[in-house]
Amino acid sequence: GDSESLIWMLCYYYKRNQKAMAKVTIEGKDYELDELSEKAKGTIASLQFVQAEIKRREAQLAVYKTAEIAYLRGLKEEIKED
């Protein structure tokens, strides 16, 4: 969604000087994790957790919506038979 494109952070690893460095991208700008404060790292972890939970809830909602449609179809068929 729009909020993801504005705030979403993508963690990835790349090789530099024989060492894997963690990097995050925030609103299109790259930051080295090692260069961020502990508070910023904690905020990143919290944000990533919340974003993962949102995705999980959205997936659950999709399952419930699919079940709702199936129940409604079944109910319509049941009512037709009466």
State the amino acid at position 49 in one-letter form. F
Using the structure block, give the residue that is written with the tokens 């994790």: 33
pTM score: 0.61
Q: pLDDT for 24-68, tens place per residue?
A: 888 999 999 999 999 999 999 999 999 999 999 999 999 999 999
User: According to the model, what pLDDT value does residue 81 have?
Assistant: 76
User: According to the model, what pLDDT value does residue 30 have?
Assistant: 93
Angstrom distance (rounded) from CA 13 to CA 5: 20
82: confidence class by pLDDT, cuts 50, 70, 90: low
User: According to the model, what pLDDT value does residue 75 have?
Assistant: 97
User: According to the model, what pLDDT value does residue 46 have?
Assistant: 94
